Each structure stands twice: as structure tokens, then as C-alpha cells.
Structure 1
Amino acid sequence: MEHRRLHLLVFLFVNAIFVSLQSREEVLLDMRSSGGELGWLTLPYENGWEIVQTVVNGSLFYTYSVCNIDAVDQDNWLRTTFIQRRPGATRVSVELRFTVRDCNSFGGASVSCKETFNFFIYETDADVGTNFRKGQFRKVATIAPDEVTRDQVVLVNTETKTVGPLSRKGFYLAFQDMGACVGILSVRVYYKTCPSTVQSLAAFPETVANGLREVEGACVENAMSQSTPRIFCTAEGEWVGPVVHCECFAGYEPVGDLCQECKPGYFKPSVSPELCLVCPDNTRPSAAGATSCECEDGFFRSPSDPPTSPCSAPPSAPRDLIATTLSTDGRLQLSWSSPLVTGDRADLTYSVLCEQCDRASCSPCSEKVHFEPGPADLQDTEVIVCDLDSHLNYTFTVEAHSGVSQYGAARPATSITAALDYTDPPKVTLIHLDDRSPTSLTLSWTLSRRPPAHISHRYELMYRRKDGDGERDVTTYTVLILDKNSVHVNDLTPDTAYLFRVQVLSSQGNPGSYSAEYEFHTSPRAESRVQSPSTMVMGAVAGVAVVLLVVVAVLLLRKRRLRAHRRGGSEDPYFSDQLKPIKTYVDPHMYEDPNIAIQKFVTEIDPNAISKQKVIGVGEFGEVFRGAMKSPARGEVAVAIKTLKPGYSEKQRQDFLSEASIMGQFSHPNIIRLEGVVTKFKHAMIVTEYMENGALDIYLKDRDGEIPTYQLAGMLRGIAAGMKYLSDMNYVHRDLAARNVLVNSDLECKVSDFGLSRVLEDDAEGTYTTRGGKIPIRWTAPEAIAYRKFTSASDVWSFGIVMWEVMAFGERPYWDMSNHEVMKAINEAFRLPAPMDCPSAIYQLMLQCWLHDRSKRPCFTDIVNMLDKLLQSPESLSTIADFDPRVSIRLPSTSGCDGTMFRSVPEWLESIKMSQYNESFARAGVSTMEDVLALRHEDIRNIGVRLPGHMKRIAYSILGLKDECSSLSVFAV
């Protein structure tokens, strides 16, 4: 009994230690945590297992012990109460904490002492109460201690046994003692579980640990996966193995174990494990939970752009398109700069459209013209155009494309009209014999390429008599300089061989390479006698034809003069020596009913075929629109639409439509084309062709110094050709000015404004009012101002002013002089000075147009011929007229050194129309007129003046200042 008491005391101490331990298992039975009678059965009831109750720190503990080592044949049983098995727990663990007394510690008094006991289990579906039969139990194991207790040192053993598989609703455990000194300190029955968890946004339920077990889970709210999430639960209650990741929906991002919607201003476009992103550039702020961010107005995404990419604008037009001739075989290089607006896209490409143009229209280039590397999908900003004809003008249009080009407005493009401009002349490829006689040879030759119409070439022909007997006389060469590609060589020897070769001389005098030598024979004298009769017959026939033509011409001229005499003679002696054209202009005001003139000369357009798009100007009678007209023959074409403002009077309507009656009578490439009118509608409209570059004066002002002189001369030639046509039609324009000349995309100039040359009172150009109406003083001839005598000669005077405007890049004629000052200066023989860099030949033509005697002025036919000659000989434009900046920039003095000096740099810049450089001069520290006089050419460039025309204007002004003020040492303040 003393041994038993010692054993129990030790147990209580150890049990108190284990109370503080915690476990994560699911416990079915815990002997230590029972707060009352355990209710375990013992068999036999007495002298077997004994229960001991002990209070430790206020808690009641129960232990069982047995120590009948002195008796033989011991069979002591201890059975637990009914233990319910939970679903899924097919195996349970039984943890035993016990002590066993060393049999030797009893001094060998008992021969039947044992140091082990047995462990049993009995499964059942119901609680059997006190019905205890040993045969129902199945032995699980014999429990043997690892250490036995000796003397006063108590050693506690722990043994855990796994029991299973279990299938009934519950079970009992039993312990059999067969003669040992045993103390059961604790019995704990439990099973392990893998706790519920969320891993990779997948939720897994609590799972009983029965070996290695695969468990299915489910994605958390607002998440998904392609397959069912799975994981393994081990026997130790741990989750192991790979997990199928769940991903948050579009518009949601992972935050811990949840998927939360994106904050405002953020978005997530797809199912993914990624976080929400900030809305990219050029997009509107998004709402919460956004899957994308919408583009701002004017910005787009292409179908291939991911939602994460920023929105971009369509590219603007390419810039600085330049055409350069590469070689003599029809190759032209086009190069340009990238658009100002590219959208920062990597898919920017370019395409090139080629059209060949004549004076009237443009059509697509022939199939032989090809591009290297191609006309579309170009990555670089240049392309080579091959197999062009040198005698044609081509218009090339370059467009920039990107993935969002289709979403913007009409694609902006850059166009240039160019022709092959060869430095070297063409080559002579073949010399032909056209005719021969005993003493002459008629030859012609073909060139490697056809020269442009405006460029003429001269030819150097060398020939010699063929050497005889292998000898060569080098002094027998004869050289002829020719203006055409044919020649008739006389004074040759009959029946003799001659050798010929030709080289081409360019208009600049550059010689080309010689052709190969060709051999031709003069005919023998006998052949000449045979051919003489036929030659005489041909000559006679030609003579008769010439006589007949002369007679017919004389009769026609006489008949026309008789008709003119019957009408009262020629209207003006300016036309007295010229043949009148058959077709003449008819003044619509001659009709009693103006509507008759409309019906006769103008086409009526269905108003449904017209659509207005944008206001581009304001005319005397109303607004002017850019629009489109649908035509069955031409499809949809761009047009300009003049409208009649509301509240008009009938007279205003007739005056408005009279311009259409005038335009409808004209058809010329350099006269604005009338498409038709709309009169059978509430608001009358005049529809003309659309001129993309607008008025000539504004076009030139925006390109000061950028257009070469040769091209300016070509533009003047077009205007002169249009005025020649009007003159031949007996029409006097009366208001020819650069503002009334329009420019299209091919830089063709066309005369416009036939509305009786009216100028509004509040027009900035100003008018001088007479009893007969209003006159644009600066453009009008003196006889028209004084006597209202408007003729084609007065239009020539106006054309001279237009020439000055063109060469001065839209400068205002007579600058800031008043109308009265202009009239006074003209009557005193003052004439506008030559603009900067104006060719002397062009300025001399201006002066001829401004002759006071109108009968001595050239007619438009002469003007067109003169300009043609200048264009055919570009070297004639290289001589520049004298330029006096003191006169050209500010009259009568540039600087006012006569006592009205410039007080500041801004005042000086304003006087030469260069006020846009005020800040540039200030930043450069040029603050006084002394600083201005010290400027050199490179200083002007460093200040920020880049345009050539602006640089020349400023440089010439400084030169004039120095000339006028050279005698002054100090400027007045």
C-alpha cells in the first residue's frame, strides 16, 4: 500500500505539469479534463483497479492504479465509458501516460510480479452500459514501459497507439492488469485534422487526417480557376502538395485571402493574380471595379492594343516633304520628316500616292512607275520612285498611318508637285537620216529621255568628211550649235561619206556626253537629176497651198474689221492691232431678266447633292463654306460654297447670282471653275471648285522665303495665262489682286472674284470712292482712277502689282501709305521698288506694266510669252534687281534718321513686320538700336531667326539703318 501511495503522489505532480499543455487535435476523450466521476468500470469490483481523486490548484484529477503483486493469477480489467466516433474519423490515436514499478524494487518477494499490461478495444453502435463481457474486446497491444520506477524517483512513460480502421458509431477502451504495479495517469483519445484554410485564394474545409488524403477546395468570392483546387492532408494534420491557384476576376485584385474590387482610377482587364493598375495616359478616370479605362475624346486604341496601353491620337501629316532627282534614269527620292503628332506608337508607317498631272486634271500614275521598297507600309521616312517621265509633272501625297488612323477624321496628308530636275542633260541615243541630196543631208536624233516642256536644250553637232586611205585630217571638223534636234547640212560633196556625232547642251550650258559617230552618204549627181522633177512638183504644190492660206486669212480679217466698223469701231485702241476671238464675254446685265443669263450660262444643282462642312471665309454677300458635291460622273468632290446671307434684297440676290453668270462663261485651267448654282431653293448658293491653299496673298505670307524664285515665276505665268484668256474673251476684271487669286493643292493659281470687283467699305484694303463706284486704289491703273477707263490695259497694271505681291511674299503694296499718298506718288512717277531677291527680268516686266501710257504696256499675250522664255532659261532669273531697304521696308525712311528715329527695338521690328521676334531679341540681350546695328548675319541666326526670307528682311533693314545713320554717333531716345 505504501508503494501505491508513493506512486499516486508522483502522478499528481506530473499531471499538474501537463495541464498547461495545449493540443490542436480533435479530442474524443481526455481523462484529465473530466470534472466529475469518470464512470469507468472495474472488474473485479474490489481488489482490482482503484480510482484516486486528488485536488491540485483547485482542480480535481482522477487516476487509476493497481499493484497486486503479491497475489497470483491476477486478471484486473478497467473499461472506459462509451466513446462516440465522429464522421470521418476512421482511425483514432490513444495516448497513455503511465508509470510501472520495477519488480526488483520489491526485493524479489513476489515471483508473479509483471512490468506490462494489455490494451483492448471494443466497437459498437450503441452504449451497452454496465454490460461488460471480456470476449467482446479485441486486443490492441501489450503496453511495456520504456522506464520503470525505482526507489523514490518516479518515471512517467508515454505511449501512443493508433487504433483503426473504425466503422461503428463508437467504441470502448479497456486495460488488463495481470500482476503489475501500474498507475494510469492519463488517457487521451483524439484524431488529427487539417484545419480549414485559404491558400492561393482557394478555401479548403477542415479535414480529418486519415493518412495522405486529397482534398478538394473552392475559389474565394470573385475568383476562379481553370480546374478544381486540390491539396493533400497528411496523417499529421498538415496540408502538403501543390495547389491550383485561383485568380481574381477582372476588376478585382488579391488583398490577403480576398479579392477586392479595384479602387477608382484603377483597373484590371482580365482574370489574373495581378494587382489593379493605374489608368494609362489619355484616359478618363475609372469607377470602382473597372475592367478598362475609356479613352479621352480625340484619343483611341487599335483592336490590337491591350487595355493596359495608353490611348493615342491619329498621326498628323508628315512634314517637310522634299523631292530630289537622283540620276538620269527617271529616279526621284522623296523624303520627309515624322509628323508632329505620332501618338508615341511603334506601328507608325507611311504610304505614298502618285498622280501625274497636266494643267487640267490629275490621274493615277502609270503602272510602270514603281517604288523602292514599296508605296505602302514604309517604316523609313524616304522612298525612291523609279521610271518617271521627265516631261510630266507628278504629285506625290504622303500619309502617315498607325493603328488608330481609322478612328480619326480624314487622314491628313502632305503633297508635293515635282518633276525630274536633272543636272546633266540627256544623251543622244540615235541619229536618223531624214533626207539627202548630192550636196546636203537632213538629220534628226532621239534622246535618252524627253525633256520637260519648260526646259529647252541646245545641241552641238560635229561632222567631218570620212578619211580616205586610212588617213585622217583633224582640221576638217565642222561644229554647229542648234536649238532643235534636227539639222539640214549644206555645201557637201556629192557621193561622199560623212561622220556625225551630237552632244546635248543643257540650259545652264552644261555639256553632255557625245553620241556615237554615225556615217551617212550624200547622193550622187545622177540621183539628183532623177529627183529634180519630183522636187519641183512638191515645191509648186506647197507654194499654191501657202497662197491659198494667205488669201483666206486676209478675207477673214477684212470681214471682221467690217463687222467692227458697223458696231461703231473697236472699244479700245489697245485691241486695234489684234484679232478678236470668235467667242466673247456677254455681260449678264444686258438681259432684261437676269434669270435668263443664269439659265443660259449656269448649271442648276440639286441642293440634296450639296453638303456644307466648314466655314472657310466671309464674302460680301454671306459665308463661304468648304463642302462636298455628289456627282454621278465624278463621285463626291470637294467644293467651295458661297451663300447669300438671310434678309437679302432682290437686287442683292441678282448681284450675287450675276457673278455665277460671269463665271459660267469661262473655261480655263487658270480661271476658277464654276460647278453650278442653287437658285430653286430658299437660300441661293454658288458652287465652285475647292482650292485647298486658299488666297494667294495669305499663302505667300505663311511661306516667306520658302518658295524658290523659279516656282514663283511659274505661279505668275499661270495667273497671266488666265488673264490672257479673259482678255481674249473681251472681259475686264477690274479687281485683279493676290487676294483674288486662289491656290490649289498642286500650287496652280486661278483667277477668281468676278462679282463686279466690289470691295466693302470696311475692307482693310481700303477703296477710293468716285461717283461711279468703289475702286481698289493700290491695284488700279491711274487712268481708271481718274477717268474710270477700265480696259485690259488697266488689268495689266493690276497684274504688275500682283507680280510685286508674289515676289514680296504677300507684302502690302505701298506699305502703310494712305490711298491719297499712293495716288499722289504714282502721279509723280513713283513706282514700287524691287522686292528682296527679285530677278531683274521680273522687275523690268513689272515696270513695263506700270507705264503711264497704257498703249505702251504689254498685253497679256506678250506677258505670257516673256514669262515662258524666262522659265525656259532659268539662268535668266539669276540676275537680281537692285534692292534699297530704305525704300522697300518703310517709306520715306527706314530708321527715321531725319529726326524721327526709332525709339525702341520693338518699334523697329514692327516697322519691318517682324514683331514676332520681339521676345527672341529681348532674350538675346538686344535691347537698344545700337545693339541692332552691331548685329552680324550669324548673330541674327543665333537669336532664333531661321526662315531665309525673315533673315534677309532683318539683314537688309540693318543695312539700310547703317547707310542712313552712318553720320550719326548717337541715337535719340
Structure 2
Amino acid sequence: MTMDYLLWVCSLIVPVVLAVEETLMDSRWATTELAWTTFPESGWEEVSGYDDSMSPIRTYQVCNVRQPNQNNWLRTDFIPRKGVLRVYVELKFSVRDCASIPNIPGSCKETFNLFYYESEGDTATDTSPLWRENPYVKVDTIAPDESFSLLETGRINTKVRSFGPLSKAGFYLAFQDLGACMSLISVRVFFKKCSTTIANFAVFPETATGAEATSLVIAPGACVTNAMEVSVPLKLYCNGDGEWMVPVGSCTCVAGFEPSADGTQCQACIPGTFKSKFGEGSCAPCPSNSRTSARGANICPCQNGFYRADSDPPDSGCTTIPSAPRNVISSVNETSLSLEWEEPKDTGGRSDLVYNVVCKKCLRDRSPCTRCDDNVDIAPRRLGLRQRKVVVRNLQAHTRYSFEVQAVNGVSGKNPTSPSYSTVNITTNQAAPSAVPTVHLMRSTSDTLSLSWLPPEKPNGVILDYEIKYQERGQAMSHTVTSQHSSSKVEGLRAATPYVVQVRARTVAGYGRYSNPMDFSTSLHSDPQKSVQDQLPLIIGSASAGLVVIVAMVVIAVVCLKKQRSGSELEYTEKLQQYISPGVKVYIDPFTYEDPNDAVHEFAKEIDISCVKIEEVIGAGEFGEVCRGRLKQAGRREMVVAIKTLKAGYTERQRRDFLAEASIMGQFDHPNVIRLEGVLTRSCPVLIITEFMENGALDSFLRLNDGRFTMTQLVGMLRGIAAGMKYLSDMNYVHRDLAARNILVNSNLVCKVSDFGLSRFLDDTSADPTYTSSLGGKIPIRWTAPEAIAFRKFTSASDVWSYGIVMWEVVSYGERPYWDMSNQDVMTAVEQDYRLPPPMDCPMVLHQLMLECWMKERNMRPKFSRIVSTLDKLLRNAASLKVVTSTYSGDLLRLGGTLPGHNRKSPESSQEIVRQQMSQTLPIRV
């Protein structure tokens, strides 16, 4: 996740829009009699009355309190629902206090019942549906907040009730009186909806709320004119109160258009201005040396003679080519040349100025100059020079050359003319010859050495003669002789004596360099017929002996390197142990081993294939099948085990990763971490043997046993998981994929951390230890901390975030975190500080601990050691687990708001309860 994405998330602010209500029926609109259906005729009576603003309206009243066993029904006309799923009913009524009515029987009531009946059309009659609760659906029993006596009239009550989901074309409302003296002043039926809004340059249509109060209805959006999508899909959630929440996706103004002042539309850039990129930026004046007369321009074209390089951004100014380099100075030294120059007077307005040096060789017959051969050496290089000096070597003697020093910048290729350059012409001088190649011994006697050699590769003129220098090995005094040819005989030497010989050539320019020194020896006896061919057997024998020595040295070097590597690994382990307390193990990453077999054999026990018996396949893993089997080893009882197999046709990398998991597990020894029994690497297939967990993965186990455990049992499971993670954290180990699916449960409900496929070594030598993933693997979004998603920074603190999600999974009996929201919606909601609400019957102290695990600042999250201590205190003080949230809510909880299901009028009360219950267990952040 890039910083641009984080800025985009922070900009997703939806304007505050009050919920909109649309009325389906209002009895106050009636200008004539309502004529609603009543049963019996002696019950409800329609009369003229006044509303609370003293406007005349039609009302219904009933007051048969002196007659027992009243059952009076009043039914409205058919009300079309217009496709909405949930409706609201606002009732205004007054009720007389039974105590103010003298001499009445005990059957007097001060309440009435509200019902509804769905129908595909206006089909109700005086007798159908039957006047009873079934087929009518009861909404609620309505009681007044205030009743009145004869001396206190005008006390009007207002009540609002809702019901749904509705599925048919419309419905009737019915009111049942069981013996009250009351007046039904007005009835208004309406539904709530989120009004049309524009957010992030996207238009979201008017949307009715869902069937339930906690429903979230998705409204798709569309970009405004001249805007484009930057993230999809475009949608908002309309909640049950008719308010927009959790915006997803965003639009932005396209290039050439900028946001309007009210932020609701994209308007074109005026002439003389431009906007090169899509985004929220404003139009800007054209940069230097460019102009535009069009509206909505996304680039300003360059003026004549000015250009932009292909790599220049559209909002950069236009530039031009540089002028020629100034004051080129040449210095010739025989067949070498030094060139220096000054910067051009005009660099074209750019900072990417470089220089090219072009060498041309010119013949004497006035023909055009041609490019120099590749053997001409220009140092440091020919093209793309930053410095203003080069040295040219290997030129031919007495030859005329022309050198162009070109000034080039990023727009030189845009100009049709040739680059700006300065020219310098030089003629090389006579040069001494190059060195003589290797000297050969043709014949030796007791007092002579017959020598030969090849002429220099570059004589640079006519060779006048050669000088042969010789001296006894180890002696400082040397002698010289000359020769007109490429061979010579050196005489007057001592018998059986080694000599060092060198040869050099001379031209009119002087002597060249000596050849490399060569060792030759005179013979013991004078034998003028002895030649080089006579010495061939000795030469061949010496060469063979030398070859044997070389091979032996190579073998010794390889062995030393292997020993050195083993010593390095041992030294690495010893140094690593210096950072931890004595007696405490530290996790060692198996990927530091060159050969995975070295790691797995160091940390895992090799088991013989005869000890393992596979009984049945129980699942499939990443690398192959997972089986149940039995392990019988000498001196140990037979035990049931889980067996992971490496599928046939595996690659070497798959085998390495498969064995790496065993190398990781083999380092751990804790009752809440899955135990490795051993591996089989010398058989086919390759196997990993672990202890067998009878109840399998924790998430599926909880779903199969929904509601069957006490809260104390669930907290005990959570305590075991936290203890295992504390052990792993103390070993400097980051799990990176902690989730209920990766926790295994045995027959005693002991939970153990497993699945170490995403784990890596945590280096704690730094102040803020982190692991940076270099792989492009998938990240489990719903369980991963936001900093790990955005920057792939995994720490023990990110494991604590994942542990909070595991707590929610356990208390909700394996429900999917964030339900059916997409991963993108989850990331957006978490960035906006939305968090999961407490599951049904969740103790407040546990949800408070979840919220601490989900703190945005990772340094503020609790350590696993404190989580274990907290859960231990809760298990000792079981009363703290009895204070639970009142209801379950499917809405996300926004940090700093109230807990879903609690009284929104007094959030302090619920938080005070949490504070009191947790004062002995957790620090509270309110």
C-alpha cells in the first residue's frame, strides 16, 4: 500500500446528511371522512378533532370502559409499500386515566395493540381477514407516557414503531382496543432513506433503508462528469437510520479539469492554464516557454525552438539544446592525446548536460575523415561524459585526427539539426615501439643461449635494432647486446647457470618497453647439437607434475571452504546466543542454511519408514495430503499422529519450503504449540510427522459446537493460544498468519498454534524489530494489522492484532470476521477507525481487550505476556465475565463511539460499567 493510497483513504469523508423520511399515508391529509373499517359497529367512532397545533383533523375514539370484555378493531385503508422493506408508524393519541373514571369495573385499560396485515391488493372486507391476531401480525402494545383526567385534557402522546421485512404489494394497519378510553388523533406511515449525495466526486442515488434496523444497504455510485474512477467499486452503505457510512471507492477529476469550489463537480481549466494529471489538484499556469489557448488543457505545447524530453513530466517547462563547448584544449604526447574544455555558455535550461567525444581519422589525400577504429581508447568513455576531460590512447603515429566535443542534453534529439559541438584537429608524433612479445629459447650450450622473438605489435616506425639484456639470476649486474634481426646468440656465459633475459626494440623515436623477464639456463656440458627438441620430455614431465599440484590445490581449497562455511554457521549461532539470556532458546531461520537438509536434520528427528503406518486421508495441505496414522518407535508406546505428505512431482523449491516448516516446528517445545515428532526425508514420499489433534481446526470446531461451551471454557481456550504466542514471541518469532483456522484443538480442548508457512526470523538487535516481506505472497487481510498490509512490516505487535481477531472468532463461535464485506471494504473501514462490535453475549472485559489489540498505534497494543496475565485474572475472577453487552449488532463499531446495543443517550453509563468491572484486570482507554 503506497502513501498515495493512505492519503486517498483519509480523504473519504461523506458529508453529514440528515436521514430523509418519505410518507406513505398520513391521516391528517384527509379532507373528508376517513371511513376506516371498524368491528363491531359499537366500537371505534370517527369524529372531528384537532391536532397538537389545533388544526382540524379526522380522528377515531373509543370509550366502552363500563362494558367488560371489549374487543374493538379499527383497520386503515390499503397502503401500498412502494417497494420499501421496512416502514415506520407514528401514532398521536390520548388516553384517559382509569383512576379518574368513577364506578368502572377492573377491566379498564390504558393501552391498545398495533397490528398489520400484508396483501397483494386491496382485498380486505368487513369480515376478511378475520378480526383476530392471526392472520394479523402484532407490532407492539402501545402504552401512553401520560394519561389524562377530566380536569387535565390535551395530553397527546406520540409513539413511533417499525416493522418489516415487507414482501407483498401493500398492507393494512389495525388497532385493537381491549377496554380503554382513548382517542386516536393521527396516524402517519413513512419509511426512511438515505438522500442523494455526492462524495469523492461520485454520485450516490437515493436509497431506502434495509429490512432490519441493523441492515446495511449498498448503493452503487457513478462518477460526476469529467471525473474518473481511481478505485472500484464505487459504493456507500445506507444504515438503518438513513445515514451514509463507510464509503468505498473514489473518483477524481480527469486531467484538464479541477474540482469546483463546492467540491461536487469537475470544471475545465481556463485558457492559459492546464492540469496534467488526474487528481484533486488545481489548474496551474502554463510553465515556462509553453502556452495554450484551449479550455480543459492537460498539457501546454512548447513554443518554437523549445522542447520537452520524453522523460520530462508534462508540467515541466520547455527547454532547448545547449550551445557548443567552449575553449577546447588539446595536448599531444606521441600517440596519446589529452582533451579539456569548458561548459557551454548556454546549457539550454537543463541540468542533464553530458558530453560526447567523436574521434575521426583523416587521410592525407584530402578525402573525408572517417570514424576511428575500435582500438582507439578514450578514457573514461566516449559518450555520456559528465566531466570535461578525456585521454585518448592507441592512436597511430604521424597521423592527422579530428575530434568533435559535443554538448548534449535531454532535448538534443528533438532538434532536427546536429548536436552543438566544437572541433579540434591534431597530428600525432613519432612514438616508440610497443613491448616485444615473449622471448623463446631455441638452443643452449654450456656458454651460449640462442634466442628468438616476434617484432612488437605496434612498431610505430621502422625497427632499427633490438637490445637484449641478460644477467645471472640473483645478481644486480646486467649486460646488453644488440641484434639487427629478431634472433640472437648470447655468448660467453657460465655453464649450468640460470639467466634472466629481456628484449626491447628501437626506432628513431627511441627504445620501447622491455619484454617480460624470462629464465633460461646454460647446460652443464658443451653440446652444440643439443636443441630444444631434446628437452621436450623434461618439459612435458614438468608440466604434468605442475598440473597434479594445481589439481591438489583446488581440492584442498574446496575442503577448506566447506569447513569455513560450517565454522561460519557455528559462529553465527554462537553470536546470536549472545543477545539473549543464558538458557533461553532463540529461533533460527532455516532459510539461512544453504542446504535445507542441514536445517531439517539439525532441528528434526529422522524417523525410519518402518515405524510409520498411514491409516486414512483426513485433508489436503499446500504441498500434499494430510493423513492420520500411527507411529511406533522402539522403547515408546504406539501413538496416533498426523502425517503431512509431499506430493509427487514436486520441485526443489517446494521440497525446501516443505522441509522448512519442519525445521521451524522442531525448534519449539511448548504445550500450546503443535509438537513435531519427526520427518522422513530419505523415503518417497517425504513426510512430516506431528502430534494428532482430535478436534481439528478451531474455527470449524466452534461452528460445529455453537453455544455449547461456557464463557469460562472459551476464555480458557484463548488463554492457551495467548500462552503459545507468548512463547513464540519470546523466541523472537513472528507468526504472520495467526487465525482460528491455524489453531488446532485436541480432545481435552487444549488449543495449539500451528501452520508456520508464513513465519520468518525476527531480528531483535534493532530498537524496533520488524520483518519486511520480500515475497509477493497473499496477505490474510481480515486478520492482518493495517501497518502489515500497507508496508509489509510484521512484528509481534501485528501478531497481537491478529490475536484480537482470533478472540472475536472464538467468542462468536467461528463467525467470519467482518461478515460478507469485501477485503477492500474491510481495509477502508479499519483505516477509518471502524472496529468489530462485541459478539452476542460477549463480556465487556473481553471486547475491551479486543479493542486494545486493535489499536492503530502498534506500540500501544498489549504484549502477549500482559494478555496471558489478564486472562489469568479473568479466570480467577469469573464474576467479571458476567457483565455482557445487551444485544448483538452487525454494524461496525467506530472508535470513540458507543457500544452497539447500548443506550445511545448515556454512553458514559456503559463505559463506567466496563471501567468498574475491569479496574482489577485491564487499564481502560475510553
Structures share fold, TM-score greater than 0.5: no
Higher-Rg member (1/2): 1
TM-score by structure 1 length?
0.40
- Please give the TM-score of this superposition, normalised by the length of structure 2: 0.42
**Which is richer in helix?**
1
